[in-house]
Amino acid sequence: MNILELPVLDRAFYLRPTLEIAPDLLGKILVSTEGPGLVAGRIVEVEAYHQDGDRAAHSYRGRTKRNEIMFREGGILYVYFTYGMHFCMNVVTEKEGVGAAVLIRAVEPLAGLDVIRKRRPAARRDEDLTNGPAKVCQAYAVNRRHNGLCLLEGPITIRRDDGDEKGKIVASPRIGIRDSVELPWRFFLAGNPFVGKAKPAARGRSG
């Protein structure tokens, strides 16, 4: 598979309802051509966040200076800093004025494994390289300067791989949050070793 020949998701993909986009992102390829070499991985776990009825979403109380990227037209990155130590990468969804996004929680590396290992030296196993949202950002060297980056142009893109079987998609409550925990808005590929492990502790807002 030549990853750079795979088609980049177009704007229309991101303008649909967030709860349709989130499971559709599973199996797609997150690609970065920035830095020392190509880094690519299959998206295997995501979480949806939306301003309507979702108290865990940054957008729940309306548009602010911090979250205004979430309210832009879908197809860009919303990157935020959490707990004073980690970045998290979200795909902005729906039309301008709607505060919605999908958090990329985990990917399965397909290219650039040596680069990822150098960026994630604390990982003891390859499965620990990208099995969490902060780990994904470290692996792709994503930080504040990527906030608002257009996913249609790069250097970070999401691409189709329609020739690959996704496997079974599972929906579950989101993890690591305190509010709206009843919403089954986490989606992942069953049995994939790069899916993160749910932890009982929950605090703060995400998305």
Give the pair of three-digit tokens for residue 170: 């599972």
**Which is it for the CA torsion 182, 188, 190, 196, positive or negative?**
negative
Confidence of residue 201 (pLDDT cuts 50, 70, 90): very low
Distance CA 105, CA 46 (A): 5
pLDDT in tens, 31-82: 999 988 999 999 999 999 999 998 889 998 888 988 999 999 999 999 999 8
Homologous superfamily of domain range 3-189? Methylpurine-DNA glycosylase (MPG) (3.10.300.10)
pLDDT at 204: 39
pLDDT at 143: 96
> At CA 147, angle to CA 142 and CA 150, rounded to 5?
95
How many residues would you count in the chain?
207
Percentage of the chain lying above the pLDDT 70 cut: 92
Give the pair of three-digit tokens for residue 176: 């690591």
Distance CA 16, CA 200 (A): 32
Distance CA 6, CA 135 (A): 24
